[in-house]
Structure 1
Amino acid sequence: MLAAETLLPVNATLGAVLAVLLVAAAGAAALARLADARGRGYARPVALAGLRAAAQLAAVSALIGWVVRAVPLLLCFLVLMFAVAVRTAGRRVTDNRTWWWAALPIGAGVLPVVLLLLLTGLVPLKGITLIPVTGILIGGALTATVLSGRRALDELRTRHGEVEAGMALGLPDREARLEIARPAASDALLPGLDQTRTVGLVTLPGAFVGMLLGGASPVLAGAVQLFVLVGLMAVQAVAVAVVLELISRGLLHRDAGPAGEPGARRRPWRSSRTLNGAEGE
């Protein structure tokens, strides 16, 4: 069995290779002029994300041994993980004050799974096991929340005329938005589904490889990886469902746009009303 240090030694060579890869990633984004819908390029965010990841992992590596020694410190660290995920996901979906609603899909997906694991004893209340498991689940919920929220709101903005047509035919605002947003938001499940369907054939995820490097048997490593993948699918399905409900009810939205979008304000001379309380056309 190869030791982890033998597989990937932490030395100057590793630092140089990481720097080259980060420059290549940012350079590819700049060369292809990759940008979001507002024209903001991704080259700089890619570079900053790599540097930030290095700093954060260095800090966590220094603190993790201290945090896992006491349950109160462990719980504080988990709350910090959750808060950062909510802030990151919420601000990716919207720039206005409704971003904090991202706490609901992330919490609704992660909390029941973590409680189930603790109550059944599959995961003990120890930082060395609880932190990585919870981190994986929070990360999956964050990704699903961002993808489903952005896709749903983009679709509502693009197809706002169809939403208004549904409202004109008598559909409640929620139902009209759901008809348009549901397929787009559901696409957020595809990365997790594909990863689960191809595990062992295309990819060997981190939990599996990490346990093998730690000396676990292939059977045990496979069982743990299966648990992680199934747990992630449950977390992400719940997160997407909650995001879709929040958007359809107008609780999570972007700044006012076309009348079919959540949060849009309509002129007051007609009687129909949005879920935000503004009268519509």
Structure 2
Amino acid sequence: MIAVGWPLAGVLVLLTAFAALVVRLGQLGPWLPVVTAAARAVAQLAAVSLLITAVLASGWLTGGFVLLMYVIAALTSSRRVFGRLSTTPALSIAAGAAPALALLLGTRLVPLEPVAVIPIAGILIGGGMTATSLAGRRALDELKTRHGEYEAGLALGLLNRDAALLLTRPTAHQALVPVLDQTRTVGLVTLPGAFVGVLLGGGDPVQAGATQIVVLIALLAVEAVAVLLTVELIARET
């Protein structure tokens, strides 16, 4: 377990400064977002740590907290993809995460207890958010850089949606690369959070492995649906 104290604060500051310096010297973009992201992460996790005891004591508060996570994920992805509010990320994330979470809870693979629901829901919603952002940004980039091909498709009589999908669907699978790599290398390269969390919570390695594989396979389903719907909705809006 990591002890909370000045050594932790010092290490976090050093790592943040190092990351910002690499971005700055390597001309990888503005360095300030690295610092602000780290600061936000610290502030948000500190706030959650203070609130989580009250949230875990109430089923209603747990549901509200999951809803809050979903809203923040949708807003974050919307700004990342479109630079404005859009319903596309909200629909895509919900379409992927809601059925998967309902299945896990309905079959009791995940117990209906706040301490289990919140982390699993957070993982699934977060995965849907990441996939939606990656797929959405790539789709818009394709439509922008290959606009001439899009216009050619329209000239041949294709509908707007069909012309857009011809350009965006072939590259949509790239949004699934992170979760595919994570699934392929689990246990060999990484020991993801669910596995470590069960071990730290006193579970045996078999329970930890079962929990992690359920989460990973659920993430594959969540992100596949999110990517498919994101590309479809963007094509329809074109």
Counterpart among 9, 12, 30 of residue 6 in structure 2: 12
Greater CA drift, 241-250 or 67-76: 67-76
Residue number in structure 2 paired with 1:218 = 205
What letter is aligned with 2:25? L
Cα offset, 1:200, TM superposition: 1.0
Q: Is the 8 A contact 2:97 2:124 kept in 1?
A: yes
Question: 1:167-182 residue pairs with structure 2 within 5 A?
Answer: 167-182=154-169
Cα offset, 1:15, TM superposition: 1.1
What letter is aligned with 2:158? L
Residue number in structure 2 paired with 1:235 = 222
Residue number in structure 1 paired with 2:53 = 65
What letter is aligned with 2:100? V
Question: 1:184-199 residue pairs with structure 2 within 5 A?
Answer: 184-199=171-186
Q: Is the 8 A contact 1:163 1:176 kept in 2?
A: yes
The structure in which a higher percent of residues are helix is: 2
- In structure 1, the gaps of 5 or more residues are 36-40, 251-261, 263-281
User: What SS does structure 1 have at the residue aligned with 2:202?
Assistant: coil
2:131 pairs with 1:144: yes
Cα offset, 1:31, TM superposition: 1.1
2:75 pairs with 1:87: yes
- Taking structure 2 as the reference length, the TM-score comes to 0.97
2:201 pairs with 1:207: no
Q: Is the 8 A contact 2:105 2:112 kept in 1?
A: yes
Residue number in structure 2 paired with 1:27 = 21
Counterpart among 119, 123, 127 of residue 110 in structure 2: 123
In 2, Cα distance between equivalents of 1:213 and 1:73:
25
Over the matched positions of the two proteins, sequence identity in percent amounts to: 54
The root-mean-square deviation of aligned C-alpha atoms, in Å, is 1.1
What letter is aligned with 1:84? I
- Taking structure 1 as the reference length, the TM-score comes to 0.82
Cα offset, 1:125, TM superposition: 2.5
- In structure 2, the gaps of 5 or more residues are none
* Greater relative contact order structure (CA < 8 Å, 6+ sep): 2
Counterpart among 150, 153, 156 of residue 140 in structure 2: 153
Task: Report the structure number with the largest CA radius of gyration.
Answer: 1
In 2, Cα distance between equivalents of 1:47 and 1:148:
26
In 2, Cα distance between equivalents of 1:30 and 1:125:
46
Q: Is the 8 A contact 1:87 1:100 kept in 2?
A: no
- Stretches of 4+ moved more than 6 A in 1? none
How many aligned positions are there?
Answer: 238
In 2, Cα distance between equivalents of 1:136 and 1:101:
20
User: What SS does structure 2 have at the residue aligned with 1:249?
Assistant: helix
